[in-house]
Structure 1
Amino acid sequence: MNGKSTSSAPAVAFKRVIVASEGGAGLVPLTRFALRLAAPDAFVRLTEVVCNPAALCPRLLMSYPDWREAHRAMQHEASTRLTLAARQAAAFVAKPETDLIDLAAMHWQATEALSRSAREWHADLIAVASHPRSHRWACRLNPEELVAMSHCPVLHVPFAHVCTKDAGVTRVLVAVDRSPPSLTALHIAASVVPKGTVFRLVYVLDRPAWLGELLPRDRFGLDGEQTLRQARKLIRGTSKTVELAVVETETLSDDIASTVLHEAKRWQADLLVMSTSSKPKFVHPLPGHVVAQTLRDAECPVLVCPSTIEATANVAHHNQRPLQSASRGAVSASGVL
Structure 2
Amino acid sequence: MTGSSTDVVAHGAVKRLLIAIDSSASSTRAAQYVRFMAVSGAEVRLVCVAENPRNIVPLGALTDAELQNARDEIHRDAADALQSAKSVFAGSKIAVQSDVIDLSRHGGSTGNALVDAADEWRADLLVVGARQHHGLLRWIEGTVSEFATTNAPCSILVVPASYEVEIPESPQRILFALDGSPTSLDAMRFGLQFASPGTHLRAIYVIDRAVRLTDLFPIRVLEDAFVEEGKAVLANAAGVLVDLSNPVETGVVSTEPTSDDVSHTIVREALRWRADLVVVGTHGRHGPTRWILGSVAARAARITRTPLLLARP
Which TM class, normalised by the smaller chain length? Answer: 0.7 to 0.9
Instruction: Map residues 195-214 of structure 1 onto 2, 5 A cutoff.
Output: 195-209=197-211, 214=220
* TM-score normalised over the length of structure 1: 0.80
Q: Give the count of matched residue pairs.
A: 303
Which residue matches 2:248? Answer: 242
SS in 2 for 1:123: coil
Asked whether the 8 Å contact 2:18–2:125 carries over to 1, the reply is yes
* Per-residue Cα deviation, 1:50-75 (whole angstroms, up to 9, x for no partner): 11223433366443321211111111
Letter in 1 for 2:98: T
- TM-superposed CA distance for 1:196, in Å, is 1.0
Which residue matches 1:74? Answer: 74
SS in 1 for 2:162: helix
- TM-superposed CA distance for 1:137, in Å, is 6.7
Which residue matches 2:128? Answer: 128
SS in 1 for 2:65: helix
Distance 2:224 2:289 in 1: 22
Which residue matches 2:279? Answer: 273
- TM-superposed CA distance for 1:237, in Å, is 1.0
Q: Which moved more, 1:261-270 or 1:25-34?
A: 25-34
| Gap regions ≥5 residues in structure 1 | 309-337
SS in 2 for 1:17: strand
Distance 1:52 1:138 in 2: 15
* Per-residue Cα deviation, 1:44-99 (whole angstroms, up to 9, x for no partner): 11111211223433366443321211111111221133234324422234441111
Q: Which moved more, 1:112-121 or 1:87-96?
A: 87-96
RMSD: 2.9
| Gap regions ≥5 residues in structure 2 | none
Distance 1:256 1:19 in 2: 28
SS in 2 for 1:39: coil
Which residue matches 2:258? Answer: 252
State yes or no: 1:303 paired with 2:306: no
Asked whether the 8 Å contact 1:6–1:235 carries over to 2, the reply is no
Which residue matches 1:46? Answer: 46
Distance 1:113 1:51 in 2: 11
Letter in 2 for 1:146: A
Distance 1:106 1:87 in 2: 27
State yes or no: 1:291 paired with 2:291: no
Asked whether the 8 Å contact 1:90–1:96 carries over to 2, the reply is no
Letter in 1 for 2:157: L
Distance 1:240 1:284 in 2: 29
Distance 1:220 1:140 in 2: 32
Instruction: Map residues 21-170 of structure 1 onto 2, 5 A cutoff.
Output: 21-23=21-23, 25-58=25-58, 61-135=61-135, 142-161=144-163, 164-168=164-168, 169-170=171-172
> Higher RCO, 1 or 2 (CA under 8 Å, sep at least 6)?
1
Distance 2:165 2:253 in 1: 29
Instruction: Map residues 184-223 of structure 1 onto 2, 5 A cutoff.
Output: 184-209=186-211, 214-215=220-221, 217-223=223-229
Q: Which moved more, 1:107-116 or 1:77-86?
A: 77-86
* Per-residue Cα deviation, 1:156-179 (whole angstroms, up to 9, x for no partner): 111333xx4541211111101110
Letter in 2 for 1:233: G
Asked whether the 8 Å contact 1:53–1:70 carries over to 2, the reply is yes
- TM-superposed CA distance for 1:234, in Å, is 0.8
Asked whether the 8 Å contact 2:125–2:156 carries over to 1, the reply is yes
SS in 2 for 1:160: coil
Distance 1:105 1:61, change over 3 A: farther
Which residue matches 1:175? Answer: 177
Q: Which moved more, 1:200-209 or 1:133-142?
A: 133-142
